Structure 1
Amino acid sequence: MTTASELRPPAAATGSDLLAAYRPGPDRALLATPTRTLLAEGVHRLVDDPSTAARALAGARPDGGRRLLVGAIPFAPDAPARLFVPERVRTAGPVPAGGSAAPVASPGWRSRPVPEPDGYRSAVAEAVRRLAGDSPLEKVVLARTLELTSPGGADLAAMASRLVHRDPYGYTFAVPAGGSATLIGASPELLVSRRGERVVSNPLAGSAARSADPVEDLRRAEELLHSEKDLAEHAFVADAVRAALAPYCAELIVPERPTLLRTAAMWHLSSTVTGILREPSTSALELALALHPTPAVCGTPTDRARAAIGELEPFDRGLYTGVVGWGDAAGDGEWVVTLRCAEADGDRLRLFAGAGVVAASDPELELAETSAKFRTFLHVLGLEDAR
């Protein structure tokens, strides 16, 4: 005898279901944003050149009928992308706020900063020297890494869950990074989204660490909102976003002044830029490539800032400060700046953090800013002091 429960259709998966189902691997990707959760499995086609994405999507027939591209694009323009068209895609609404963000249980971690703090201060001081006077270089973003090693490595599925619940209004990602590596993180910064003809970008630049003391936390937020140095740094980014999107948009609205955006670890100066496309055929990925890299992760002018980064940073950024997200065959998509992230491979977890350097920068304060940005991951691992 058939029962009522057997006749009832199975319940649709929720964002929490997809988050719980994620397991790391070279053919799996998780994207959890304030509006949706996406779990991709299986590789229908690899895409190492973003310019071929439209052709790859046009020829794809993944399970379920929806053609998507997911993955990451590196910081360096000549490095291969880590994008793929998945065989299967499941989507749901956002993961509800309020879940556990307790540290991931893991064995003892050993840490090694690259460069050492003194080396980073020296690099910032050299950048400030280059920015002085009538130099054409106006801003350069300098990063450092924290290399963590532990027998057995990190539990990436548990880490992804903790990242989502720590910052439910951020953009959590876990995508293949080449070989056995996984890029995992929780970015606060939407580079660009496109839904139909509507375009949104949310550039961030200018930051201050949060405080556990509510009074001090509010003081820091107010100080950031009125900081001439940080407002100038933010203006570089907002102007660059305006210039990059203007050729593609019939209408474009850029706020006159930034507002504050908060994450669990940081305050940021934020501007929400909105526009209407001139040509409906322009895809979210095309817009992302036009914007990347913004002065928030590279500097300005872009070529000179890239050259300074290559000379002053003693490591390859890889996918850090690149672009990560998804796009579909209709051109819609959501791409974020690859920040607050780590590259996990075996026993190693390599964390990244950077700070925007302008002529008024203080090396000690820029070092402190990168330390604060490491907290997103260090909190998840229960390693608040390893920075």
Structure 2
Amino acid sequence: MSAAKPATSGAELLAGYRPGSSSLFASPSGTLLAEGTYFAVPPSGRPDGLADLAHRVDAVLGVAEAAGHEVRTVVGAVPFAPGADAHLVVPMRLRRGGPPVASVSDEAAAPVKQIRPVPEPERYAAAVAEAVRQINAGRYTKVVLARSLRADAPGFDPGPVVRALAGREPRGYTFGVDLGGGRTLFGASPELLVSRHGAQVTANPLAGSAARSDDPAEDRRRAEALLRSEKDRHEHAVVATAVAEGLRPYCSSLTVPAEPSLVRTATMWHLSTLVTGVVADPAVSALRLATALHPTPAVCGTPTAAARVAISELEPFDRGFYTGMVGWVDATGDGEWAVTIRCATADEDGLDLFAGAGVVAGSDPRAELAETTAKLGTMLAALGLEHSDVV
């Protein structure tokens, strides 16, 4: 993080986060608070903006250096669709601090007046059933289908929710990104797409999930059942293999564990593989690695092209930045990019929450509906709502 200010506490940066005028990204390795906009990365103008995104970011960082601007870091978010515009900026000011710590926030967000599911739960279950039919017909082998909740909350302030998420999930990747026009992307993702620090490359694909239980014995049973599940292990193996294959051309060495492990959030158990490697060419930035991986089968499906078509046919909304990537990259190539899940997009009237589930040949529509409800728990808890508020 070149040109960042001297280190301070993550809590201080969280307290200084102001939606609309700053963006925040907090991870187990530290916290970034980006204030103002010095220069925005221009849109591509190509059908696949990912193809030249790293080049455009390098060009903007070069402009900042040539002008003598002290910040040489780009911060922001990249959407799910390859043709949609990313929102990435060189900030006017960049402050760096330690990672967040577990805490309880007593701040209150604007009250949510009404929640509407998009689509209705039965329509989502029907879409999952249709996806299983298409999988059995050989159109693709996996697709990730999402659903959304529209929460009416005039005057909603994402700031308290971002601080609550950072305290609730300090081992995750908490973010609040100013999208302009009064819109904010915020959430707490458990999944690291990829990071690069010096020559060290790390990715942590997650796939295969189970809801947590408040009963310790039942919670352990669910975790052990997930670790033994052939369906979930297969789903996870597809994702872990895709990530490893995506990174291998850029690394001089790569370590991929043979077996998945378990990781937990406050609401979910996940199967996890920690992939580590050494970048072969120091000119390959964290963002270049991220664009090589995005989207993984964990958020799209496989084969990618066929899964994208199915998503466009079966999901009745535009994902926007959901299942994209969020993070930062600096002029040295270091950076961190998380998968944009467990998130919401806020505007002046309220917010849209998102969650998805991986559909394969053996998927049960009701079980996938229940999984999306459990995944929505991260955001619902931060909003002071319960699972009973949704189906």
TM-score (norm 2): 0.93
1:24 and 2:19 matched: yes
Q: Aligned to 2:122, which of 110, 118, 121? A: 118
What SS class does the counterpart of residue 43 from structure 1 fall into?
coil
* Structure 1, unaligned runs of 5 or more: 1-9
Please name the residue that 1:139 is paired with: 142
The aligned counterpart of 2:97 is: 92
1:341 & 1:158 partners in 2: Cα distance? Answer: 14
Whether the 8 Å CA contact 1:121–1:364 is kept in 2: the answer is yes
Q: Report Cα offsets for 1:69-119 as digits up to 9, x if no partner.
A: 00000000000001101110000111222x114573532420000000000
Instruction: Look up the equivalent residue of 2:115 and give its one-letter code.
Output: S
- 1:255-274 Cα distance to aligned partner (Å, 9 max, x none): 11110000001000000000
When residues 105 and 29 of structure 1 are mapped into structure 2, their CA distance, relative to the original with a 3 A threshold, is: closer
Q: How many residues align?
A: 374
CA distance in 1: counterparts of 2:283 and 2:104, whole angstroms: 41
Determine the structure 2 residue equivalent to 1:308: 310
Distance 1:386 1:102, change over 3 A: farther
Task: Go from structure 1 to structure 2 and tell me whether the alpha carbon gap of 1:256 and 1:46 turns closer, same or farther (over 3 Å shift).
Answer: same
Between the aligned partners of 2:144 and 2:107, the Cα distance in structure 1 is 30
SS in 2 for 1:168: coil
Q: Pick from 76, 82, 87 the counterpart of residue 82 of structure 1.
A: 87
Q: Which structure 2 residues correspond to residues 87-236 of structure 1 after superposition, within 5 A?
A: 87-97=92-102, 99-101=103-105, 104-132=108-136, 135-153=138-156, 155-236=157-238
Q: 1:36 is matched with which residue: 27, 30, 50?
A: 30
Distance 1:21-1:64 versus aligned 2 partners, 3 A rule: farther
Give distance in 1, aligned partners of 2:196 and 2:6: 29
Q: SS at 2:363's partner residue?
A: coil
Paired position in structure 1 for 2:333: 331
Q: Per-residue deviation at 1:196?
A: 1.0
Change (3 A) 1:136 1:312: closer
Partner-residue secondary structure (3-state), 1:274: strand
Residue 201 of structure 1, CA deviation: 0.2
Name stretches of at least 5 consecutive residues in structure 2 with no aligned partner. Answer: 45-52
1:3 is matched with: none
**Structure 1: 4+ residue segments shifted above 6 A:** none
Q: Please report how far the alpha carbon of residue 242 of structure 1 lies from its aligned counterpart in structure 2 after TM superposition.
A: 1.2
Conserved? CA contact 1:63–1:87, under 8 Å? no
Contact 1:101–1:380 at 8 Å: present in 2 too? Answer: no
Distance in structure 1 (CA, Å) of the matches to 2:101 and 2:190: 17
- 8 A contact 1:64–1:88 mirrored in 2: no
Moved more, 211-220 or 88-97: 88-97
Does the CA-based 8 Å contact 1:170-1:186 persist in structure 2?
A: yes
SS in 1 for 2:389: coil
8 Å contact 2:189–2:340 — kept in the other structure? yes
Q: From 340, 351, 354, give the equivalent of 1:352.
A: 354
Mapped partners of 2:337, 2:126: distance in 1? 33
Is the 2:31–2:98 contact (alpha carbons within 8 Å) kept by the matching residues of 1?
A: yes
CA contact (8 A) 1:136 1:301 kept: no
Instruction: Please tell me the residue identity of whatever aligns with 2:17.
Output: Y
SS of the aligned residue for 1:251 comes to strand
Question: How far 1:177 sits from its partner (Å)?
Answer: 2.5
Task: Name the SS of the counterpart of 2:356 in structure 1.
Answer: strand
In our comparison, the structure showing a higher alpha carbon Rg is 1
State the identity as a percent: 58
- Aligned residue for 1:60, secondary structure, equals helix
1:156: how far off?
A: 1.3
| 1:208/1:268 contact within 8 Å kept | yes
Q: Is the 8 A contact 1:177 1:343 kept in 2?
A: no
- Pairwise CA RMSD: 1.6
Distance 1:247 1:168 in 2: 32
The answer for the alignment partner of 2:254 in structure 1 is 252
CA drift of 1:64 comes to 7.6
Distance 2:329 2:77 in 1: 11
Aligned AA (1:222): E
In the alignment, which residue of structure 1 is the partner of 2:49? none
Question: Who is 1:5 aligned against?
Answer: none
State the SS of the aligned residue for 2:64.
coil
Q: CA deviation at 1:136?
A: 4.7
Task: Give the distance between the partners of 2:106 and 2:7, measured in 1 at CA.
Answer: 28
